[in-house]
Structure 1
Amino acid sequence: MNKDNKGFPYEPEKSEKLFEEAGYTYKKDAKGKDGKTNEVSEKCYLVDKNGKTLSLVFLARSGQSYSETVAMDYINHWKAVGVDVSLFKNKLTDFNTWADLVKSSGKTEDNQTWDISIGGWSLSSEPSQQDLFSAKAPFNLGHFTSPELTSLLDDIDSQKSLDKEYRAKAFQKYQAYIQDTAFVTPLDFSIDWTPVNKRVVGWTQAYDATDLWAKLGVSNDKPDQGK
């Protein structure tokens, strides 16, 4: 891990400065896509130099009992800093439709598009990032690419990276690039727990263990009940 990258601290108060640097200003009479006057309690919506509201579409998935609650929480946080965000087609999207949209150009038959979405994936023992963020990666759901990103990804999987120390440094450069460009923002990760009784011997979850079942056994007839 690149210890110089501290992640993204939650500092919404800095957003106003960043928006101003990008050419946006706050206006109480900003008009959104629906043509209505948009106002919020603490900040009004952001507009560009032409008076157009900064309006984004959030492609949020359904599927869990809390899906809508989480989606609306994100929308309210964006609203608090002046960004007008609405759900894609004003509702949550089922997984199959979501998958079709993020893997395609993002447009539907009626030409609707999305700007923000949340995805997830699991990883194997090989940490290569090519399947996630390369130009032709099946899981590059944001469809972002650049010559620099391609170079960094190729370096991670290069012949030189057969040396573990070299590959670690290549990953650190890659992490710094993601931190700087923020084309994807990590939100959370999960940890899998595997309870193993004390009588079990030879158990390991090491990725390079190829003979686990040959060495696995028990030291007692009955499970250790603990104290």
Structure 2
Amino acid sequence: MHDSFTTLGGMNQMLAMMVNCFYGGCGVGLLNFYIFIILAVFISGLMVGRTPEFLGKKIEAKEMKIAMIIALLHPFLILVGTAIASHLISHNPTAYASWLNNPGYHGFSEMLYEFTSSSANNGSGFEGLGDNTPFWNIACGIIMLIARFLPIIGPIAIAGILANKKYIPESAGTLKTDTSTFGLMVFAVIAIVAALSFFPALTLGPIAEYFSLK
């Protein structure tokens, strides 16, 4: 599935799962979007010198720690998994020769896509990868479990913390979260925290393959 896409077409599919915070996405995309809103509120408040507030509740250090752990968990699982798989096949290509029908840049993209799909709970794959092996089944299973449940626990924990805080009426110093400016800020946070985390890996895979075909 998807292995016949062009290099940039496959990259865009991966990038959508790497960001993993769009409405209608698989897995816990909406919860991840909520995490990025929390991050954007905090960063925006620091930038303009206003108290970070969301829905009348202060956003403080405890919520930010949880939000950052959840935001960085997704790239951590994908990149570490891909790094381990790349290490194994590069140091013992004979033993793991059945993994890759397409070595080189595309083979790296296949492994990157497999872990991306597992972490985003999408279920698709670049089927040039021979992934019906103990390593892939166990590794992807572990990543699916972690990437499914921790991003659910984190936002619920933040919601519980905020629920116990005193409501703060809106004032002139309150940061507006219903403006286009704040929307752009959320987009910037998503682009910086999520998308750019994967840029080096995408460069080694689909982007390098694209330029090698020129």
Q: Common fold, TM-score beyond 0.5?
A: no
**What's the TM-score once normalised by structure 1's chain length?**
0.23
Which has the higher Rg, Structure 1 or Structure 2? Answer: 1
Highest RCO, 1 vs 2 (Cα 8 Å, sep ≥ 6): 2
Q: Which has the higher helix share?
A: 2
**What's the TM-score once normalised by structure 2's chain length?**
0.24
